[in-house]
Each structure stands twice: as C-alpha cells, then as structure tokens.
Amino acid sequence: MLIELSVANFRSFRDRVTLSLEAEPRISERDKSVDERNVAHTPDGDLLRVVGIYDNNPQMVGRMLDGVGIRSMAQLEHDAARELPDIAVLTVPAEHAQAVADRVVAAGIRAIMNFAPAPLHVPPTVTVKSVNMALELEGLAYALVRRDAGEPPR
C-alpha cells in the first residue's frame, strides 16, 4: 500500500517533496464529505486510498511505484468513472497543468491538489489547493534561522 510518495529532480520538482497519504485519525467519522471508500483502515491508522498514478511517458506506464501501477493518461476518464475518486494530485509541468486539470474535472473529480507551478481555472464546484513548494521551503528556512537565533517558534 502506498503511504508516502516522494519526488525529487523530476520535471517541476528540483528538491525532494513528499506527499503523505496518512489520513487524520478517523477522518471519515468526523468529515462526512470524505467518501468511506477512499479511506483504508489499517492497524497503523487510516490511509487515503490511491486509485492510480498516471503518466504520459510510455517508459513509465506499466511500472510499479510502491505497489501501485503507473497507468497511461489515456485511462484516466475510464478509471475515474469506475473507481470514483474524490481527489486528484497534479505533479505536472506548468505548461500541462491546465489541460490535465480540465481532464480531471471532466472525469468528475471534485478536488485537486496542485503541485504544478501554475494557477488552475476550474468551475466553482471543484476545490483546488495549490502548494507552492518554493514558499513552503522558504518558510522552513525562515523557521530554521529563527530557531538558530534562539527565537521561540511561532
């Protein structure tokens, strides 16, 4: 089962980035907007279920990543209709982000976590959370400087 996914030195990611799929404790019990089908209950805690990993690169399609097969982007709409995922995570170059987001929205996915360094334009029925890795790393660097200077954490 995929618990974390790390990417480094790949397309728009220069530095290592890790996406954790650990759900908050009993997230599906607190938040009824989370479909129970998308949470795997394990002895070690709740995990968000991964439907698939998609890529356009024929050399990547068919490979396994932490036990999850990499599928062709051509399968996205078919798989989404069958498996009904709630969230898509975009880790594509900026120039492809909007086109991929359009396909995700057309497939009926209701939320997008966007790691691409580009703004997305989606209908109001779709929620987008964009993560700017440069700003996140800047915040961490600032926290380290404050800590090293003896300042209390905020």
Q: Which two tokens stand for residue 141?
A: 């660097």
CB 47 within 8 A of CB 65: no
pTM attached to this predicted model = 0.65
Angle between helices 76-83 and 94-106 (to 10 degrees): 40
Domains of the chain: 1-49 (no CATH), 53-84 (no CATH), 86-154 (3.40.50.720)
- 91-136 pLDDT, tens digit each: 888 999 999 999 999 999 989 989 888 999 999 999 999 888 777 7
Q: Which two tokens stand for residue 106?
A: 């057309």
Neighbours of 18 (CB within 10 A): 9
